[in-house]
Structure 1
Amino acid sequence: MNASNASPVVMVMAAGASTRYGSAKQLARLPNGCTLVRHAAVTAIETGLPVQIVIGAHGELVRAELIGLELAIVDATEWWRGVGRSIAQGVDALVARVGKPTSVLLTLADLPQVTSKDLLRLAEMHRQSPDRLLVSGFGDNRGPPCLFPADCLPALQKLDSDDGARGVVKANAERVVAVPLAAAGFDIDRPSDLLKMPRQG
């Protein structure tokens, strides 16, 4: 299998409408005053890897939070069709910009406990085993951040539902490796979740 050995591009998903949150979740402020979306973007940039962020709902407000950051911004114009479609549009833009397949380290803006070290751990595991599809394991669950080898990009480009990339992971079950990452198990879904945020360090 011809998987790319190149460093992955970190793709931060921040396109959702935040219906359960009740307002623009991307703009929710963490205890340190930073918005969720800027925190996720800075965390990705701290890896030293190329970074792309996908925005959609609340686009202009979210874009304003990213001023001054060195990353590519992609507008998911069909974000309302679900996160799968936003991922597909993000990968479309990445392929168009990069011009050749590359691996994608997919993460979400609402995972404030995930650190740059966590993302780099996945990137290092990819360099060691470039054919593997890496998913984060937390308890009995699996999910983002996930690292998709280059040959998975065509499947990601076909996504068109609210089920995210689960179908791509399932279709490649024989080469999926779950990487223990407790931080991935804490996401911000409702305003009250900010009060439950575990202390880091």
Structure 2
Amino acid sequence: MSAPVVLVLASGRGERFAASGGGGAKLQALLGGVPVLQRTLDAVRASGLAWHLESAPHPGMGDSIAAAVRATRGAAGWLVLPGDLPLVLPETLRAVAAALAGQSVVVPRYRGQRGHPVGFAADCGDALAALAGEHGAAAIVRAHAAAGRVLALEVDDAGIVTDIDTTADLARAEELVRRS
């Protein structure tokens, strides 16, 4: 089986970032001197996995995921990674991809907290391609969890839960970058 494709979602409007006092687009905000989205893409490239950047405007996360899945139809699966997770590690991306073998859904966890990228096997493709609205793929995860087909994968990567939604989030991420 070939590896899944990482879907980097960069279609959001960043309204919470702007409301918190952020100037400009949050994905272009500098983190350690590098734009947030660039850091995310650098990790994806370093993972060695195939990837797709979904940056066209969409009304909600569900619409973004659906468009990205349709653009990569035929993939062995997908890792859904919001573009505002600039500290995710390449080895975490590879671990989620590897864990998809024999699973329908893989949800990474850091110290018990759910994070991204969430991995979906090819059998989830039709449901992902049909998504719409703000809620992303949570309903698909719940349906597979009810059937016992979700793997919770514990990883040692705070980057899976370090998203940049506000200027305070950016400041916390900056501190993590300084300490690393």
Task: Report TM bin, short chain.
Answer: 0.7 to 0.9
Asked whether the 8 Å contact 2:103–2:150 carries over to 1, the reply is no
From 3, 21, 29, the counterpart of 1:7 = 3
Name the residue aligned to 1:69.
none
Counterpart CA distance in 2 for 1:167 and 1:52 is 23
Task: Map Cα deviations across residues 38-63 of structure 1 (whole Å, 9 max, x no partner).
Answer: 11111101111111111034xxxxxx
State the alpha-carbon separation in 1 of the partners of residues 42 and 111 from structure 2.
Answer: 27
State the Cα deviation string for residues 63-98 of structure 1 (Å, max 9, x = none): xxxxxxxxxxxxxxxx1x211011101111111xxx
**3-state DSSP of counterpart to 2:43:** helix
Asked if 1:184 corresponds to 2:164, the answer is no
- d(CA) in 2 for partners of 1:28, 1:196: 13
Cross-structure match for 1:133: 105
State the one-letter code of the partner of 1:7.
A
d(CA) in 2 for partners of 1:171, 1:161: 18
Q: Which aligned segments of 4 or more residues in structure 1 are displaced greater than 4 angstroms?
A: none
The alignment status of 1:119 with 2:93, answered yes or no, reads yes
Deviation at 1:154, TM superposition (A): 0.5
Query: How big is the shift at 1:7?
Result: 0.7
Looking at structure 2, the residues matched to 143 and 85 of structure 1 have their Cα atoms a distance apart, in angstroms, of 20
Please give the TM-score of this superposition, normalised by the length of structure 2: 0.86
Q: Which residue is equivalent to 1:166? A: 138
Indicate if the aligned counterparts of 1:12 and 1:54 stay in contact, CA closer than 8 A: yes
Cα RMSD of the aligned pairs, angstroms, is: 1.6
Q: Residues 14 and 55 of structure 1 are in contact (CA less than 8 Å); yes or no, is this contact kept in structure 2?
A: yes
Q: 1:133 Cα deviation (Å)?
A: 1.0
| Cα distance, 1:123–1:12 mapped onto 2, change above 3 Å | same
Question: Deviation of residue 140 (structure 1)?
Answer: 4.5
Which letter does structure 2 place at the counterpart of 1:160? A
What is the aligned partner in structure 1 of residue 83 from structure 2?
109
Structure 1 counterpart of 2:37, one-letter code: V
Partner of 2:14: 18
Q: Is the 8 A contact 2:5 2:75 kept in 1?
A: no
Q: What residue in structure 2 maps to residue 149 of structure 1?
A: 121
Unmatched 5+ stretches in structure 1: 58-78
Alignment gaps of 5+ in structure 2: 19-23
